[in-house]
């Protein structure tokens, strides 16, 4: 556990850097399953995929992301003396891209992206130095209907993994609730950001420290957090919109949610496991001013979005039996090949190879032994690789023996009619 050790300066080339992961085939299958569900649901919602660079000018984040992101930036000077950073989040890149290109697209944009993000901090459970994120954003729509659509998408992404309202909860708040509150309390606007950070850390910092930071606001803030608050018309309409879709059971109003990032302006939300074992699974909200700020006012567009990481989500799926089972089943089925070619006589290898080429061209996943191998071991390989059919090239030539691996039934087909024969039997893997 690196968390309790000093940084290791002697880096071994025989292991990953701390906080970075190798994805062996099993882990890569999990990652790809997560990516596939993310992409699938985003596309059902009519979202279109895009992607930005993993390396960006450090200033892109220093300007607007807020203290927590900047402290943990994985940044350095490149050989051209530029201050650059491995991106900690996607939103500033999105704002840059939209400011430059928005005229090419009809509004609202509904864009999603799947990519890797970085931070430099001590490793902890659910927090490495890299992770993958789904980002979904709607640009150019100020109406609350967009907030509802975005939260619904976030919930449906989780449901695609078999997670229900018993497993996860979306805690929703509205930054305007707090800015209205600060205004009532006559707090100057230039202190609001800092106060929101204190509220964001509520419960994660010692109470005395929170009291100290809030000063005379401590009592009314505590009272508000305790009371739940947030009975605003906007939040009620948001819940009503989700109820129309049958998703209201996933929602709880919680004005304690304000999000660490500095640029949010309206509705904000975070997703947690109901048992409270994990960090936030996803989070997002409205950032109506960010595009204008980053483009120095050249382009002003309302916007909102959320991000969901792969690490905490993966842990939650792993510890939720029905979700884990569904994932394992999907992965096992996706891993299978279609056809294994058993070369029983080496004299038939050239014929088999010509056939393998034909089958692969038709889209079948086909494997075979690269070198002479005992027939029993070949059938074992066919079994392990999940082949639905084994084709045996041996004494029966110019006929080929077709073995259905599930039923063990065998039949003979002439080599030149094999393809038609198989087409009827073996549908393509997706």
Site for a second copy in 277-336 (CB under 8 A): 294-295, 335
Q: Which is nearer to a second copy, 43 or 329 (CB)?
A: 43
- Residue number, 6 or 206, with CB nearest to a second copy: 6
Q: How far is the CB of 19 from a second copy (least distance, A)?
A: 9
Instruction: Give the CA count within 13 Å in the CB-facing half-sphere of 419.
Output: 13
**Cβ atoms within 10 Å of 207's Cβ, excluding its own:** 11
CA distance 341 to 338: 10
Please pick, from the candidates 3, 44, 346, 410, the single residue that binds a second copy as defined by CB under 8 A: 44
Tokens (6 digits) for 259: 């999000």
Q: Which of 124, 333, 357, 427 binds a second copy (CB under 8 A)?
A: 357
Q: Out of 48, 67, 275, 412, which residue is the one contacting a second copy (CB under 8 A)? A: 48
Q: Do residues 266 and 304 touch, judged by C-beta distance below 8 A?
A: yes
> Which residues in the 1-40 window bind a second copy by CB under 8 A?
7-9, 11-18, 20-25, 28-29, 31-32, 40
Residues 152-211 that bind a second copy (CB under 8 A): 152, 156
Nearer of residues 19 and 285 to a second copy, judged by Cβ? 19
Q: Is 103 in the site for a second copy (CB under 8 A)?
A: no
CB of 199 to a second copy, least distance (A): 29
Candidate list 70, 120, 331, 397; residue touching a second copy; CB under 8 A: 120
Query: Is there binding between residue 245 and a second copy (CB under 8 A)?
Result: yes
Residue selected from 227, 297, 321, 363 as contacting a second copy according to rule CB under 8 A: 363
**In 10 A of CB 72, how many CB atoms?**
16
408 belongs to the binding site for a second copy (CB under 8 A) = no
Establish if 59 lies at the interface with a second copy (CB under 8 A): yes
Q: How far is CA 299 from CA 93, 288, 333, 408, in A?
A: 14, 11, 47, 66
Cβ closer to a second copy: 39 or 213?
39
Q: Which is nearer to a second copy, 179 or 429 (CB)?
A: 429
CA distances from 220 to 76, 143, 213, 227, 260 (A): 43, 31, 13, 10, 21
Smaller CB separation from a second copy, 220 or 297: 297
Closest CA to 391 of 335, 336, 430, 353: 353
Check if the beta carbon of residue 73 is closer than 8 Å to that of residue 9.
no
Q: How many residues bind a second copy (CB under 8 A)?
A: 102
Stretch binding a second copy (CB under 8 A), from 142-150, 180-188, 305-313, 419-427: 142-150
Alpha-carbon torsion (284, 288, 294, 299), positive or negative: positive
Nearer to a second copy (CB atom), residue 404 or residue 429: 429
70, 214, 331, 353: residue in contact with a second copy (rule CB under 8 A): 353
Strand partners, 83: 77
Helix (H/G/I), strand (E/B), else coil: 182: helix
- Segment interacting with a second copy, rule: CB under 8 A, options 198-206, 212-220, 243-251, 417-425: 243-251
**H helix or E strand, kind and range, residue 67:** helix 67-71
The size of the chain, in residues, is 430
Note whether 76 binds a second copy by CB under 8 A. Answer: yes
Backbone angles phi, psi at 420, to 5 degrees: -60, -40
Eight-state DSSP code of residue 195: H
Sign of the CA dihedral with 32 first, then 34, 35, and 37 last: positive
**Which H/E stretch holds residue 356?**
helix 349-361
Is the Cβ of residue 224 or residue 415 nearer to a second copy in the bound state?
Answer: 415
Based on the shown chain and the rule CB under 8 A, indicate whether residue 356 belongs to the binding site for a second copy: yes
Distances (CA, A) of 181 to 173, 195, 214, 345: 13, 11, 13, 82
In the complex with a second copy, which residue's Cβ is closer, 21 or 213?
Answer: 21
Which residue lies nearer to a second copy by CB, 211 or 385?
385
Under the criterion CB under 8 A, does residue 137 sit at the interface with a second copy? Answer: no
By CB under 8 A, what part of segment 372-391 binds a second copy?
Answer: 381, 384-385
* Closest distance to a second copy from the beta carbon of 231 (Å): 22
- Look-up of token digits 């619904």: 152
């Amino acid at each position: 556990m690196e968390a309790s050790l000093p940084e290791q300066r002697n880096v071994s080339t025989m292991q990953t850097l701390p906080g970075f992961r190798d994805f062996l085939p099993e882990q890569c299958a999990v990652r790809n399953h997560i990516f596939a569900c993310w992409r699938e649901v985003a596309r059902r919602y009519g979202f279109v995929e895009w992607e930005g660079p993993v390396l960006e000018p450090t200033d892109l984040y220093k300007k607007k992301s807020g203290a927590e992101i900047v402290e943990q930036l994985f940044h350095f000077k490149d050989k051209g003396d530029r201050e650059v950073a491995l991106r900690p989040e996607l939103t500033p890149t999105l704002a840059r891209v939209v400011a430059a290109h928005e005229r090419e697209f009809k509004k609202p944009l509904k864009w999603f992206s799947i990519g890797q993000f970085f931070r430099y901090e001590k490793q902890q459970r659910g927090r490495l130095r890299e992770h993958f994120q789904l980002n979904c954003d709607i640009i150019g729509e100020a109406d609350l209907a967009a907030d509802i659509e975005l939260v619904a998408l976030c919930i449906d992404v989780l449901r695609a993994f078999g997670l229900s309202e018993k497993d996860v909860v979306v805690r929703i708040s509205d930054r305007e609730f707090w800015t209205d509150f600060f205004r009532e309390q006559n707090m100057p606007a230039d202190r609001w950001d800092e106060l929101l950070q204190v509220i964001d850390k509520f419960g994660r910092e010692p109470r005395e420290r929170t009291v100290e930071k809030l000063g005379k606001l401590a009592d009314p803030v505590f009272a508000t957090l305790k009371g739940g608050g947030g009975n605003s018309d906007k939040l009620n309409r948001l819940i009503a919109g989700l109820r129309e879709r049958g998703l209201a059971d996933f929602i709880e109003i919680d004005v304690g949610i304000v999000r660490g990032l500095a640029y949010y302006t309206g509705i904000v939300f975070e997703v947690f496991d109901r048992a409270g074992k994990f960090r936030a699974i996803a989070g997002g909200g409205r950032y109506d001013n960010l595009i204008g700020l980053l483009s120095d006012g050249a382009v002003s567009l309302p916007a909102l979005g959320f991000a969901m990481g792969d690490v905490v989500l993966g842990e939650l799926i792993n510890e939720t039996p029905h979700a884990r089972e569904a994932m394992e089943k999907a992965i096992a089925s996706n891993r299978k090949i279609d056809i294994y070619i058993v070369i029983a006589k080496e004299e038939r290898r050239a014929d088999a190879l010509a056939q393998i080429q034909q089958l692969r061209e038709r889209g079948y996943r086909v494997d075979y032994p690269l070198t002479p191998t005992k027939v029993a071991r070949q059938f074992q390989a066919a079994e392990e690789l999940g082949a639905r059919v084994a084709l045996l090239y041996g004494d029966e030539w110019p006929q080929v023996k077709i073995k259905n691996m599930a039923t063990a039934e065998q039949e003979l087909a002439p080599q030149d009619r094999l393809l038609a024969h198989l087409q009827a039997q073996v549908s393509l893997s997706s």
